[in-house]
């Protein structure tokens, strides 16, 4: 397999600047020389604090969201230009908390994806079904729609800056992890969807992370699956003692 593993920490709405600096320093030290690709995504207010700590390390700097417009009268939003100004390299878009709590739809998410790519950022596009959608047998269809709509208008040449994160909503923050087999099946399906859009070699190359209650205890089993290329970690990303072992899982 030519794909490399990519382990990302989504810090969500946690930490003060001092706490963020402490975590970033611990991770920069512990992941030094690590063999995979890493990222941390702190809240907007913490980015400037974390940026100099991870600069020059093997940890990329991410943001958790951004506005769909470059600039203008958008009270409370943060623009791609402002993120780039802070040294942000990657933006997480379409997280289920954005989709379901803040009602972001596929059209809005797609607009953000295209804008981020236009400005040279890498995008982690999150997809995933609700529990009722899974129980109704719609997990694949939901992930397909979110993938197809999220990637609308993305040029093949930009696909190497897209990462997909499969995060079944029922597994986020609940302690319920999808079994490695269930997760792998959806990852394989998403890869097939990318193949239909961009051809088999692009499908083979695209990194698909799993997210949803990833912990040091289950990371290696998940990563061992053919189609799981990394993790987008929430709760366990808030401590170096839990994120570092996930990031350094034995492959």
Q: How far is the CB of 158 from ligand 13P (least distance, A)?
A: 22
Active-site annotation holds for 104? no
Q: How far apart are CA 205 and CA 177, in angstroms?
A: 25
Element housing 196 (H / E): helix 180-198
65 scored as a contact of ligand 13P (CB under 6 A): no
211 scored as a contact of ligand 13P (CB under 6 A): yes
Q: How far is the CB of 222 from ligand 13P (least distance, A)?
A: 12
Residue choice 233, 240, 244, 247 for contact with ligand 13P (CB under 6 A)? 233
Residue 230 vs 235, nearer CB to ligand 13P:
235
Q: How far is the CB of 172 from ligand 13P (least distance, A)?
A: 4
Among the options 97, 133, 144, 167, which is catalytic?
Answer: 167
Q: How far is the CB of 148 from ligand 13P (least distance, A)?
A: 21
Q: How far apart are CA 12 and CA 22, in angstroms?
A: 16
Residue 203 vs 247, nearer CB to ligand 13P:
247
Closest by Cα among 148, 152, 154, 108 to 127: 148
User: Tokens 């088999």 map to which residue?
Assistant: 200
Q: How far is the CB of 19 from ligand 13P (least distance, A)?
A: 17
Residue 230 vs 234, nearer CB to ligand 13P:
234
Among the options 95, 97, 122, 140, which is catalytic?
Answer: 95
Contacts 24+ apart (CB under 8 A), 96-103: 96/126, 96/128, 96/167, 96/169, 96/172, 97/12, 97/172, 98/65, 99/126, 100/130, 100/169
Active-site annotation holds for 167? yes
Both structure tokens of 154: 């993305």
Count of alpha carbons within 13 Å of 241, Cβ hemisphere only?
0
∠ CA 159-190-39 to the nearest 5 degrees? 55
Nearest residue to the partner ligand 13P, using Cβ: 234
Sites for ligand 13P among residues 86-105 (CB under 6 A): 95
Residue choice 173, 199, 200, 241 for contact with ligand 13P (CB under 6 A)? 173
Chain centroid to CA 62: 9
∠ CA 14-206-235 to the nearest 5 degrees? 20
20 scored as a contact of ligand 13P (CB under 6 A): no
Binding site for ligand 13P (CB under 6 A): 10, 95, 167, 172-173, 211-214, 232-236
- Catalytic amino acids? 95, 167
């Amino acid at each position: 397999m030519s794909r490399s593993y990519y382990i990302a920490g989504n810090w969500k709405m946690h930490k003060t600047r001092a706490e963020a600096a402490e975590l970033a320093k611990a991770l920069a030290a512990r992941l030094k020389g690590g063999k995979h690709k890493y990222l941390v995504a702190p809240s907007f207010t913490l980015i400037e604090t974390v940026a100099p700590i991870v600069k020059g390390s093997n940890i990329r700097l991410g943001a958790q969201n951004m506005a769909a417009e470059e600039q203008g009268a958008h009270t409370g939003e943060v623009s791609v230009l402002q993120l780039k100004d802070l040294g942000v390299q990657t933006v997480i878009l379409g997280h289920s908390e954005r989709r379901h709590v803040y009602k972001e739809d596929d059209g809005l998410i797609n607009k953000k994806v295209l804008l981020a790519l236009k400005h040279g950022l890498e995008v982690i596009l999150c997809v995933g079904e609700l529990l009722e959608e899974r129980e109704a047998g719609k997990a694949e269809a939901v992930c397909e729609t979110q993938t197809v709509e999220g990637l609308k208008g993305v040029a093949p040449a930009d696909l190497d800056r897209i990462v997909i994160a499969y995060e079944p909503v029922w597994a986020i923050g609940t302690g319920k992890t999808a079994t490695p087999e269930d997760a792998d099946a959806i990852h394989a399906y998403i890869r097939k969807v990318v193949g239909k859009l961009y051809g088999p070699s692009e499908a083979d190359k695209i990194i698909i992370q799993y997210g949803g209650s990833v912990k040091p205890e289950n990371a290696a089993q998940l990563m061992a699956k053919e189609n799981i290329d990394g993790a987008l970690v929430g709760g366990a990303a808030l401590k170096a003692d839990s994120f570092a072992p996930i990031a350094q899982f034995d492959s």
